[in-house]
Amino acid sequence: MSRHTRRRSPLQVRLTVVGAGILAAVAGVTAVTVASAHEEARGHGTGSRTRVGADHAVFVQGNELDGNTIHVFKRTRDGRLSAAGSYSTGGKGGDQVDAPTDSLASQGSLVYDNRSRLLLAVNAGSGTVTSFRVEGQKLTGRRVTSSGGDFPASIAVSGSLAYVMNAGGTGSVQGFRLTAKGLEPLSDAHRSLGLDNKKVPLFSSSPGQVAFTPGGHELVVTTKSANTLEVFPMTRGGRPARQAVVNDSAGAVPFAITFDKAGRMLVAEAKESAVSTYGVRADGTLKVVQKSLPNGQNTLCWLERAGDFFYGGNTGNSTVTGYRTDHHGRLALTNDVGVAAPPSAESQGVIDLAVTDDEKFLYVQNATSGTVDGFRIGRNGSLSKIGTTTGLPLFAESGMEGIVAV
């Protein structure tokens, strides 16, 4: 079967439903043309070194099948973006089987570590991970390393450790040290997830994300089709336990992970577009703090924190939902309808999200339209659109996935 002709599963049909009535009611999108986004940045590793913190940037992973690239944008103080070049990762992008809008079907495929100033990107199509050193809006010191498995799709960082989640085959996590030269494989730090996928997995049966708990004492993986949250307690040497502690998910199809200020774990559940909250115990077991809060939208997959607020990407109807927590960790929607940012004609196929370190801005990837929306985060958690950046790789045979705001 041609990659252009995709067989639609019931879940895929659900994912691609878009509210036409909502779209008709939404108008006015500020576009920022980025025709030069695909141009290769010249002088990698040369010229003056940008002082850390002098400039802000947003990095977008193109995930192109013929050669993965990182698209770089300068971010002004008011949150607007302008193109600042693109950099080849030295690997290939990937596309999971039957993926409806998100080729990697994961969260955390592109991450930035403030401590080491390294940007880490998965090359799902070639089984590798690329590290760059970030210097303002320049990427230098590219290094490509084997991911230790098939179809790497998510990365987690804690201190000097990085763990890559491989979604293909039996699935695995592989540990690395963050060094001045990039990623160095960690011995005896490969653990199987015991899945039954092909080398390129079906999007609904692949794991969704790998994440460290705050403090780095546990490593967590979501498995979508198994409906489990698998927790590896970590040793002092940075190795996971030999076997994961398998916890049943409170809701169906757990996907993305984030944490609140108190260290409680929030998990986005795609089937019912809900979020559940857990306490993570030292032995790897989970305590349900709040079970499956639905948002009334279609197919919540991505979830990011901004202070006391959280934002979720609903790919099925291209909306963003806002949440808030109280000091007891109880989660609530920021408004009655569950929509902090409605869809627009240029904002279709909402997938991954990124929040700036100062928690003032949110950036949202739109895979179907090949755009990124910028929003200012209000004191009450409301979102005000700044603009829409166009011209990025849109979803067809594959599409962009992974976004970081620095």
Residue 234 structural domain? 52-248
Is 165 within a domain? yes
For the record, the structure tokens of 15 come out as 């994912």
Q: What is the mean pLDDT of residues 28-56?
A: 37
Q: What angle do CA 4, 146, 182 make, to 5 degrees?
A: 120
Is 161 within a domain? yes
The per-residue pLDDT for 329 is: 86
Is 224 within a domain? yes
Q: What angle do CA 234, 237, 239 make, to 5 degrees?
A: 45
Phi and psi dihedrals of 25, rounded to 5? -85, -10
Closest Cα partner for 200 from 120, 92, 111, 60?
92
- Give pLDDT tens digits for 142-173: 999 999 999 999 999 999 999 999 999 999 99
**Alpha-carbon span 341 to 334, nearest angstrom:** 11
Secondary structure (3-state) at 248? strand
The per-residue pLDDT for 397 is: 79
**Residue 44 confidence (pLDDT) above 70:** no
Which has more confidence, 403 or 1?
403
- Give pLDDT tens digits for 64-115: 999 999 999 999 999 999 999 999 999 999 999 999 899 999 999 999 999 9
Closest Cα partner for 107 from 8, 1, 255?
255
- Give pLDDT tens digits for 106-136: 999 999 999 999 999 999 999 999 999 999 9
Secondary structure (3-state) at 193? coil
Choice among 45-49, 136-140, 230-234, 384-388 with the minimum mean pLDDT: 45-49
- Give pLDDT tens digits for 242-289: 999 999 999 999 999 999 999 999 999 999 999 999 999 999 999 999
Q: How many CB atoms sit inside 10 A of residue 25's CB?
A: 11
- Give pLDDT tens digits for 295-306: 999 999 999 999
Is 294 within a domain? no
The per-residue pLDDT for 210 is: 98
The fraction of the chain above a pLDDT of 70, given in percent, is 87
The per-residue pLDDT for 17 is: 39
Is 184 within a domain? yes
Is 255 within a domain? no
As a whole number, the mean pLDDT across the chain is 88
Is 166 within a domain? yes
The C-alpha torsion from 51 through 54 and 56 to 61, rounded to 10°, is: -10
Question: What is the count of structural domains for the chain?
Answer: 1
Q: Which domain CATH number covers 201?
A: 2.130.10.10
For the record, the structure tokens of 317 come out as 């109807």
Q: Give per-residue burial for 191-219: e unless 16+ CB within 10 Å, then b.
A: bebebebeebbbbbbbbbbbbbbbebbbb
Q: What is the mean pLDDT of residues 310-339?
A: 95
Is 311 within a domain? no
The per-residue pLDDT for 49 is: 33
The per-residue pLDDT for 246 is: 98
The per-residue pLDDT for 6 is: 40
**Residue 379 confidence (pLDDT) above 70:** yes
Is the CA virtual torsion 201, 405, 65, 135 positive or negative? negative
The per-residue pLDDT for 237 is: 93
CB 325 within 8 A of CB 260: yes
**Residue 45 confidence (pLDDT) above 60:** no
Q: β-strand 56-61 against 69-75: which pairing, if any?
A: antiparallel
CB 71 within 8 A of CB 119: no
**Alpha-carbon span 128 to 117, nearest angstrom:** 20
Distance set, CA 206 to CA 151, 152, 159, 338, 363 (Å): 10, 11, 27, 27, 25
Residue 316: which pLDDT band, with cuts at 50, 70 and 90? Answer: very high
- Give pLDDT tens digits for 8-34: 444 444 444 334 333 333 333 333 323
The per-residue pLDDT for 308 is: 94
Q: What is the mean pLDDT of residues 194-206?
A: 95
The per-residue pLDDT for 18 is: 37
Residue 328: which pLDDT band, with cuts at 50, 70 and 90? Answer: confident
